[in-house]
Every structure is written in C-alpha cells, then in structure tokens.
Structure 1
Amino acid sequence: MRVLLVNQYFWPDMAATAQLLTDLAEDLAAAGWDVTVLAGRGSYAPGRPGRLPGRERHGKVEIRRVRCTNFGRGNVLGRLVDYITFLAMAGAFVAFSRWTRGRAAGEAAPGQQWRAGAGGRPVVVCLSTPPLLALVGLAAQARGAGFVVKVEDLYPEVAVALGTFGPGSLAARFFAAVSRLVLGRADAVVALDEGMRRRLVAAGARRVEVIPNWADGQALAPDVAAGQRGRAALAVGDSFVVLYAGNLGLAHRFDAVAAAARRLAAAPAAGGGQVTLLFVGSGPRLGEVRQWCRDLPNVRFLPYQPREALRELYNAADVHLVTLRDEASGLLVPSKVAAALACGKPVVLVGATAGTVAAELRAAGAGWCCPHDPAAVAALLAALAEDPARVAEAGRRARELFEVKYDRKRATGRWQGLLGGVAGVSPAGDGHA
C-alpha cells in the first residue's frame, strides 16, 4: 500500500501542518504503508533553517523535496510566491516523476507507476493549504491514483471573510470554481469538524469524513515535573502563565489580548500575582503584537520551539490562549486546541464565541470563551489567576476531552481505514476507533 503525502512543509519544520503530517506519515509507515512525502526545501525549523536536502529519510518515511522559493512567512507577497513555485514544482513531480524509483520491486515503466498493485492503487493526500495544492492530487488521479484532500480551512470563504478577496471578486469566483472541481472529484475529503463537513457537502464534496486534528497524547501529557522545569527555564516565578503557542496568523486577532495585558500590568490580580502572557511562534501578525506590547513587562516572546521541548513548555503554562476572528468562525479549526487539551491545560478562547470550538469547550468544561473585549479578557484572566482549583478542574476535563476525541493514535488510525478504502484494500482492522 503506497501513499504520497503532499504539503509545502514537513519535518523538521515546526508549522502545525508539518507536525500533523509528520505524525500521520510515521504512523502509516509503522502500520506497513510505503510512505513518501513531497514537500518544499525551505525550512524554519530551529537549528535547520534555510534549504533542506532534496531527498532524505525520516525513519521509514521517504522525503522528496522540490526546489521552490523561500521568501518566508513574514509578508504576504513572499508567501504567495513561495506557494506558487511549490505548487508548480509539486505538480511537475506528480506529472513526470517515477514515484516508484528505488523500490525493491524495481523501476516502473513510464506511465505505469500509478497503477494498482497487490497493495491496491496508490493514494495521494493533499492538504488544502496552499489552496490550489489539491490540483496536484487531481493530476495524480488522472494517472490512476486515489486522491484525498485534507481540508484545513475553507477557500475562498476564509479569504473573503478576512478581507483578502472581495465578495464576488474574480479571485473569489476562481477559487470557488477550483474548490467545486476538487471536492467533486476527490475520492474522499477530510473535514476537521461537523460544521466544516456540512459546508463541504453543500459545496459538492462526494464523500466527507470528519477526522479532527490531533496531538500526541504520550509526548504531550500532564506532567507536573516537566512543568516545573519549564517554568524554571522561563524564569516566570509564581506568575500565572497564559501561553499562546503557534502561528500568529491572519485569521487570529490580538488587539483585545494586548490591551488586556496592558490592563493586567497596571492592575495585577487581586492577590498581587502577575499574569504573564507568553507568545511562542511566528506569523504575519507577530510584528504588530510585538509593537502593541513593546513596553509591557508581563508579555514575552519566543520563537518556535523544537518538538522535544514542547512537553515542558506546554506544562509550564496555567492556561493556553487561542484567538480567532469572529468572521473566521466555522471556516477553520485552530490545531493548537488539541495540544493544550493533551497536556491537561484548559483553553481560553478569545473570539468566535458562537462557533463549534467554543461550544465544545463549554460543553466539556475544558475552558472559557470571551469576546474581543479587553475588559472581559483581563477580568477573566485575573479571576482564573485567583482560582487555581477552578483551573485544575478544567484541566482535568480538558484531558478527558482529549482522550475521547483528539488523541493521535485514534485519529491516525481512522486515517488508515480511510486510505485503505480509497486504495481498494482491507487492512487488518478498519482503523476506526
């Protein structure tokens, strides 16, 4: 059983999609799949910036990296050029390469490598970011491969909601047409939650499976000792730590959080303790958040951290912060929620209070939601800082929610079942938990 996973970023990159795809690739390979990953050569990983090798292995996973530009995530134009060049080179790889080159069975003849063998037909999985990447899957499908698209956010709806495209604009109509084409032809579409599934079905998707993004429940777990080491390394003392970890992206909003931090710096919690906001990551909004918080002693910034450091970092926090613009509600699902829940840390969601993430946190008692209101955010964080028992109980419920929905093995097992069906084989166990 062969599968090609296509995404612009992969191990050792620390982008959320790269980490998720690495988990999926590792677990598929461990289950006996012949896994190849097609990615770009640019990297933002700590210790491995710049260009990565065109070909290497990560455990049992073969990595093929195509040449593309590497302007980075700091500005929209550079990201767009990176997207376009990766799309072009990935498309060329799928259209012209001998994917089976170097396999024990020998090279396939040109035009033959996509045909089904004893392990069923090969399957290509494309992520929806960048939004045109799924066209690579259509090219593979035309050569006989199965095609699955993993939808991270809904295009063009999210671009229209964020003001990138105007409603009814040529760009919006173009992306809508591409989306209808991809969704209508894909052998399977993976949505992150039920609300996204309904939207995809309405847009013409034939077969939609709901498999949420996950976290590794063994690597990330409640760990008091790790948290103490993390707090010592961060030198946060006894302060109440609010952690935002990940991409500071265009779908997120930070003005209310920054203003709340200013209020908390001026008027600490009733017991005199400090509330410290820690931002770990990068993204297009990082610069403006730094500017807003430049003179605040209770706000700190760190770059992306290696995965092996995340257990200590995540456990060092008292609560994890997630923000989402109201207009993006229902169009994407922040992957950082699963990591917080894995460590038994409650989530404070700012914005999108009527969305599915907010509803789930409320129902499970695993976090709190508030609007983009500086006074409300400051009041909530101050109240939580004064009530450790309340925070601990929400943390316990957070881990319970994680175990029934977001655990890595549960999610990747469902992926195995889905891909086996698309490949036309029946692996041992259907992979559904």
Structure 2
Amino acid sequence: MRILLIYHFFQPDPVISARLFAELAEELEHAGHRVTVFTGNRLIRSDEKLPPREEWNGVEIRRFSRPNFSQGSNVGRLFNSGILQLKWLCGFFRRRREFDAVLVGTDPQFAYLMFPLLRLMNRRIRLIHWAFDLYPEAILVNSPAWMKRLAALTKPFVPWAYRRVDAMVDIGECMRKRLQTYGHGAECATLTPWALAEPSEVPESDPDVRRELFGEAKIGLLYSGTVGYAHDLGPFIGLARECRRRGIDAAFCFAGYGNQYKVQLAQLTKEDTNIRLAGFASEAELERRLAAADIHLISLRRGWEGIVVPSKFFGALAIGRPVLFSGPEESCIARWIADEKLGCVLDDASEAALHFIRELGNKPEVLEQARNHAWRIYREKFSRTAVCSRWLRLLAER
C-alpha cells in the first residue's frame, strides 16, 4: 500500500509526537508499505531549516517551508498552520493519484479542515485521522478570548470535515466519546502512543540518580515532563505536605518544564522539605531518571479529559513503575489504572493515595510486584510492537 503521512513535525525533531510518527513510518515501511511524509521544514525548538527532500530508513520525507513564527504564540501558530496546510494541499494535488491512504495527525491546529479538500482531490483514497489531542476543544478550554471566538467559528465545520474520514483513531475511550459527538460515522480504533524508552526488562534504580532526586527518602515519587495548562501540580504538593505531616518518609521530585512549571511551583515554601526540583533530562539520561523513582505522578485537570492524554503514563509503565494519577475518575487513564491495577487515583480525601505510598514504601515485595506488573501490562497493551501491530491490522482491513 502507498501511504502518505501528514504531520507538522517529523524526524529528526525530538518532540514526542514527531518521534511517534517517525517510528510508525518505520514500522509501515518494514511491513512492505511505501511511505511518504509531508511535514514542515523547521524543528519545534530551533531556527534551523531542514532540507526540502530526504530519504530516511526507506521513507520519503518531503518538507514544506514555512516562516519562523513562534509556536509559543497563538498568532504565530495560526500563521504556521495556515501556510503549511495550503502547501500540503498543493503538494497532494500534484501527487493525488500516487497514494492509497492518507494519515493526518492533529498538529498543526485545524488540520481537520484539509479533509474535505483531500477527499475532493481523490475520492478513492482511504483517509485516516490520528487524534493526539482535539481541536478546537483544546483552544476552547484555555485560550485568550479572541482565540476562543475564532475556534468557536470553526466548530460548525468539524462534523462536515470529519464525515470525510474513513477511520478515526483516538488515543483513549474518553477522546473517542468526544469525537463521536460530531456524528462522523467513521470506523473507530483506539491506538495509544508508546514510550520512547522501552527497556527489555524492569530496570533497577541508579543509586546516584536516586540520591540526586530524592535524597535518602524511603520512597521517591517523580513528576517528569511538561507542565502546561492541562496539568495541575497542586494536588501533589498538598499530598507531599500531608506525607510530611504524618511522618511518611517520601520525597517528591518535580522534574518538569513548560509554560506553567514555574507558575505552579511558586506556592512552595521553605517548609516543603520533602519536595525537590530537577531540570530537563536529555534523552540519553531519561531512562535512568525515570527508573530512579518508585512511583510516577501523572496529572490532568478536570475538563481536559478526552482532549489530551498525558504521554507520561505510557513512559512510566514502560519503565516498570506504578503511577499515582491526579485527574477525573472518568478519564481513560483512571480507568486503565483501575482495570489493570496499575497504581492509584488521587481523590480529594487522599487517604487511598497515602495508603498506597506507605504500603509500597514499607513492603519491598509489594513494590517489586507492582513494578513487574506495570512493565508486563505495558508490553502486552501499550508497547510500540503491540500498537503498531494493530496499526497494520487497521490498514489491512481494506
């Protein structure tokens, strides 16, 4: 099958979604498909321009130029999105008979507006949408007023655009429910992102890294990754204070970055002696950092369920660590935790979470079982091999 992938960022960009699309392209190519990628010519955190054409591991990469408007600016993102989509549509028109299937991601914003035009240019093509996050919902939840008004203007066009899609791929059941409210009628599948680090066995903690992050605490809890508008560190800070008050020997480390990281940590005081901070870890250091913790912290604000699914969840399981989740009980992460016994959900009372931390800290055999179980569930349900096998079955159905 001749497959076209369309996504804003791609190899060699280190951003997680770009890496996932690159690894999916590799898997499709290894399975015998011919893969072409339409992407942008800039990295997400660099001014560097990438070459317009490249062949990478058998995959044809076609990069379309865009201005260097900041992705951190709402106006900049809009201009980048519009320019790229117009250029991709022109590129597709010239090669519209070369492909059997087109897979489109959710970056840049409003990418779904291309669906009707892609369908018009080739009515026989199989059109697949892989939704990592939802627009305009993400804008409507938390954006300046003028962006919300603009997003609201596009919302009536979403059902019309989605009805052109043959297969709608989400990354969680709560996201699927939001997508189905548009009445798209497409074939549905849940294909989650996988972790970038997938050790072949449950790794042990590096004593030096553990001491750097958690000191000599009996049990270490780690938040690693982005802190944005969809995340809230407040419940974890409150839990850390309650652990200190009750004499539970636990250390919390926030190794994050993002537009809300410093804002949310401004509430820390000198009394928060069991809370530590750490900077960004390179990919080479990431596995050792993740393995240094006993429990990983995952956060999702209420109202964001089904709009985004934190990829930290899959990274924690891949490294064989149970998770403590602060977020809506109806979210897919909370359900996976409950169904597969992967950790604990933090509620307002916090008693279950305190018991969870105390038990894993006082019973090494329980902690060891939790590690092995998390790693096994990841390999069976969420690993690159498991998910890409489902991708291949989805593509083979027609």
Interval of TM-score (by shorter of Structure 1 and Structure 2): 0.7 to 0.9
Q: Does 1:284 align with 2:259?
A: yes
- Distance (Å, rounded) in 2 between the aligned partners of 1:131 and 1:147: 18
Equivalent residue number for residue 94 of structure 1: 88
Deviation of residue 325 (structure 1)? 1.0
Give me the CA root mean square deviation. Answer: 3.1
Gaps of 5+ in 1: 100-110, 425-433
- Distance (Å, rounded) in 2 between the aligned partners of 1:125 and 1:233: 44
- Distance (Å, rounded) in 2 between the aligned partners of 1:113 and 1:149: 20
Secondary structure in structure 2 of the residue aligned to 1:344: coil
Secondary structure in structure 1 of the residue aligned to 2:47: strand
Q: Does 1:344 align with 2:320?
A: yes
Sort the Cα spacing of 1:184 and 1:304 in 2 relative to 1 into closer, same or farther, 3 A. farther
CA-to-aligned-CA distance 1:201-251 (integer Å, 9 cap, x gap)? 3311222322332325973354334x3277268464543322223322211
Q: Equivalences for 1:5-20 in 2 at 5 Å?
A: 5-20=5-20
2:186 partner amino acid: R
Answer whether contact 1:321 1:348 (CA < 8 A) is retained. yes
Answer whether contact 1:13 1:44 (CA < 8 A) is retained. yes
Q: Does 1:258 align with 2:237?
A: yes
- Distance (Å, rounded) in 2 between the aligned partners of 1:379 and 1:291: 28
Answer whether contact 1:128 1:152 (CA < 8 A) is retained. yes
Equivalent residue number for residue 113 of structure 1: 95
Q: Does 1:149 align with 2:126?
A: no
Sort the Cα spacing of 1:165 and 1:290 in 2 relative to 1 into closer, same or farther, 3 A. closer
- Distance (Å, rounded) in 2 between the aligned partners of 1:41 and 1:268: 53
- Deviates most, 13-22 or 340-349: 13-22
1:59 partner amino acid: N
Equivalent residue number for residue 3 of structure 2: 3
Equivalent residue number for residue 228 of structure 1: 206
Deviation of residue 363 (structure 1)? 2.1
1:285 partner amino acid: Q
Secondary structure in structure 1 of the residue aligned to 2:153: helix
Secondary structure in structure 1 of the residue aligned to 2:179: helix
- Distance (Å, rounded) in 1 between the aligned partners of 2:371 and 2:150: 43
- Distance (Å, rounded) in 2 between the aligned partners of 1:387 and 1:257: 22
Q: 1:128 aligns with which of 102, 106, 128?
A: 106
Q: Does 1:334 align with 2:310?
A: yes
Equivalent residue number for residue 60 of structure 1: 58
Deviation of residue 180 (structure 1)? 0.8
1:189 partner amino acid: M
Sort the Cα spacing of 1:206 and 1:30 in 2 relative to 1 into closer, same or farther, 3 A. same
Deviation of residue 373 (structure 1)? 6.4
Deviation of residue 345 (structure 1)? 0.8
- Distance (Å, rounded) in 2 between the aligned partners of 1:387 and 1:165: 48
Answer whether contact 2:197 2:319 (CA < 8 A) is retained. no
Q: Does 1:36 align with 2:36?
A: yes
Q: Equivalences for 1:33-432 in 2 at 5 Å?
A: 33-44=33-44, 49-55=46-52, 56-65=54-63, 66-73=65-72, 78=73, 80-97=74-91, 113-116=95-98, 121-144=99-122, 145-160=125-140, 162-164=141-143, 170-171=149-150, 173-215=152-194, 219-225=198-204, 227-228=205-206, 231=209, 234=212, 236-239=214-217, 240-264=219-243, 267=245, 269-270=247-248, 273-280=249-256, 282-293=257-268, 296=272, 298-303=275-280, 305-306=282-283, 308-371=284-347, 381=357, 384-421=360-397
Deviation of residue 412 (structure 1)? 1.4
Deviation of residue 185 (structure 1)? 0.8
CA-to-aligned-CA distance 1:126-177 (integer Å, 9 cap, x gap)? 22244401223443333214321111233344444x34488xx744542322
The percentage of aligned residue pairs carrying the same residue is 23
- Distance (Å, rounded) in 1 between the aligned partners of 2:265 and 2:57: 38
Deviation of residue 335 (structure 1)? 2.1
Sort the Cα spacing of 1:406 and 1:157 in 2 relative to 1 into closer, same or farther, 3 A. same
- Distance (Å, rounded) in 2 between the aligned partners of 1:151 and 1:349: 22
Secondary structure in structure 2 of the residue aligned to 1:276: strand
Secondary structure in structure 2 of the residue aligned to 1:327: coil
**Which gives a bigger RCO, structure 1 or 2 (Cα 8 Å, sep 6+)?**
1
CA-to-aligned-CA distance 1:96-153 (integer Å, 9 cap, x gap)? 23x6xxxxxxxxxxx552115xxxx342222224440122344333321432111123
- Distance (Å, rounded) in 2 between the aligned partners of 1:345 and 1:269: 23
Deviation of residue 44 (structure 1)? 5.0
Sort the Cα spacing of 1:341 and 1:196 in 2 relative to 1 into closer, same or farther, 3 A. same
Answer whether contact 2:221 2:251 (CA < 8 A) is retained. yes
Secondary structure in structure 2 of the residue aligned to 1:51: coil
Answer whether contact 1:37 1:64 (CA < 8 A) is retained. yes
CA-to-aligned-CA distance 1:368-392 (integer Å, 9 cap, x gap)? 0013667876675455433433333
What is the number of equivalent residue pairs in this alignment?
389
Equivalent residue number for residue 104 of structure 1: none
- Deviates most, 199-208 or 179-188: 199-208
Equivalent residue number for residue 22 of structure 1: 22
Equivalent residue number for residue 429 of structure 1: none
- Distance (Å, rounded) in 2 between the aligned partners of 1:416 and 1:8: 23
Deviation of residue 277 (structure 1)? 1.4
Sort the Cα spacing of 1:263 and 1:9 in 2 relative to 1 into closer, same or farther, 3 A. farther
Secondary structure in structure 2 of the residue aligned to 1:43: coil
Q: TM-score, normalised by structure 1?
A: 0.78
- Distance (Å, rounded) in 1 between the aligned partners of 2:84 and 2:269: 41
CA-to-aligned-CA distance 1:262-296 (integer Å, 9 cap, x gap)? 555x54844xx44131324x322122134234755
